C-alpha cells in the first residue's frame, strides 16, 4: 500500500511500472499540472483530480464525484495502466491526492497500486532526480471492474448513521468538522454521529506513522467497532481516502468510503447537519 522512495528508485524503470503524479491544490487547480511540467519523477504522467480522478459535478453531487463506472476502465487504460501494471501514485507530500488515486484503482480491483510515502519531497530527499516537460505511456488494456463493498452513498448513510455498530470518521480539520469555519462548502458542520480524525494525524515528519502506531490510534478511536463497519468521509471524498489507507496500513481492513462526503451531503436539505461537537477524538 505504501512504497518508499528507495524502493521506487529500484523499480521505476521496469517495463510494467506506471508512476502517476497527482499533485493538486483545491484553491489553485492549475498548480498541479504546472508543477509537473516544471519538475516530476522521471517516467511519471500527470493526473488531475477534477479531470481524471472525478466526474463532472451536478446539483446532487459533491465537489469530486466518482468517475463514471462505464468509462473509468478505459480511462485507466489511457494512462497506460494494464491489469499487470505496478502503479505508484504520488503528490507533493501529504498523500491525500495520491490516496484518492490509490482508492479508485483499488475500487476497480487493481491490487498492485501504492502510494509513495512522503511524496515528491521524500523522493528528492532520497536523492531522486527530477525532469521537466511531459511524458506518456502507451495505451493499455485495463479490464478492472468496480467493487461494490468498499464505498457507500448518502441514502445508505442516512439509514445507518445512528447504528451503534457503525462509525463515521471525518477526515477534515477540526474547525471545519465542528462548524467553526468553512472555507470551501456553503454549509458548515458535520454528519450526525460522525467523529473527527484529521487525515494529518496519520503522518509524522511528512510520512505515514508506523503500522503499529496507526493500529493503536485507530483502535483507540473505533473501540469495539469492526473495521468493516467504519465509513470514511471528508469534504469531497479525497482526504477520507487517506484515513482509509491508514487503516489498511494498520492492518484494519475493510473500511469504506462515503464518496460524496460533506459536499454531497449538504445538497439535500432533508439530511441532518450538526454544527457542534458530537463525539470528538
Query: Looking at the annotation, which residues are catalytic?
Result: 234
Beta-carbon count within 10 A of 276 CB: 10
Q: b or e along 197-223 (b: 16 or more beta carbons within 10 Å of the residue's beta carbon)? A: bbbebbbeeebbbebeebbebbeebbe
Pull the grid cell for residue 20: 502517476
In angstroms, rounded to a whole number, what is the distance separating the alpha carbons of residues 80 and 83? 10
Taking alpha carbons only, the member of 75, 90, 87 closest to residue 139 is: 75
Specify the residue for cell string 478511536: 221
Beta-bridge mates of residue 203:
208
Euclidean distance between the first and the last CA atom of the chain, given in angstroms as a whole number: 25
Task: State the chain's maximal CA–CA distance in angstroms.
Answer: 53
Q: Rg for the chain (alpha carbons), in Å?
A: 18
Q: Give the residue ranges of DSSP H helices in the chain.
A: 5-11, 31-38, 49-52, 69-78, 96-107, 119-125, 154-160, 174-178, 211-222, 239-249, 261-265
In angstroms, rounded to a whole number, what is the distance separating the alpha carbons of residues 89 and 117? 10
Specify the residue for cell string 481524471: 52
> Which residues have CB under 8 Å from 223's CB, separation 6+?
none
Amino acid at each position: 500500500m505504501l512504497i518508499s522512495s528507495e524502493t521506487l528508485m529500484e523499480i521505476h524503470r521496469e517495463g510494467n511500472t506506471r508512476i502517476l503524479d497527482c499533485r493538486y491544490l483545491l484553491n489553485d487547480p492549475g498548480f498541479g499540472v504546472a508543477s509537473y511540467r516544471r519538475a516530476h519523477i522521471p517516467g511519471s504522467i500527470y493526473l488531475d483530480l477534477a479531470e481524471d480522478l472525478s466526474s463532472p459535478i451536478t446539483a446532487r453531487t459533491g465537489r469530486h464525484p466518482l468517475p463514471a463506472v462505464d468509462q473509468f476502465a478505459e480511462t485507466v487504460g489511457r494512462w497506460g495502466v494494464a491489469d499487470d501494471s505496478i502503479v505508484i501514485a504520488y503528490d507533493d507530500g501529504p498523500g491525500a491526492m495520491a490516496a484518492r488515486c490509490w482508492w479508485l484503482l483499488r475500487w476497480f480491483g487493481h491490487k498492485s497500486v501504492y502510494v509513495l510515502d512522503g511524496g515528491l519531497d521524500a523522493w528528492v530527499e532520497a536523492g531522486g532526480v527530477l525532469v521537466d516537460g511531459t511524458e506518456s505511456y502507451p495505451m493499455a488494456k485495463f479490464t478492472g471492474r468496480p467493487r461494490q463493498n468498499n464505498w457507500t452513498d448518502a441514502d445508505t448513510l442516512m439509514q445507518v448513521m445512528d447504528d451503534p455498530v457503525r462509525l463515521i470518521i471525518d477526515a477534515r480539520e477540526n474547525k471545519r468538522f465542528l462548524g467553526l469555519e468553512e472555507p470551501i462548502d456553503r454549509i458548515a458542520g458535520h454528519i450526525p454521529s460522525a467523529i473527527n480524525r484529521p487525515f494529518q494525524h496519520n503522518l509524522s515528519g511528512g510520512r505515514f506513522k508506523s503500522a503499529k502506531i496507526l493500529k493503536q490510534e485507530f483502535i483507540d478511536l473505533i473501540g469495539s467497532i469492526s473495521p468493516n463497519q467504519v465509513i470514511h468521509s471528508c469534504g469531497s471524498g479525497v482526504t477520507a481516502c487517506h484515513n482509509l489507507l491508514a487503516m489498511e496500513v494498520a492492518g484494519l481492513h475493510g473500511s469504506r468510503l462515503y464518496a460524496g462526503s460533506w459536499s454531497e451531503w449538504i445538497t439535500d436539505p432533508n439530511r441532518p447537519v450538526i454544527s457542534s461537537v458530537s463525539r470528538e477524538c
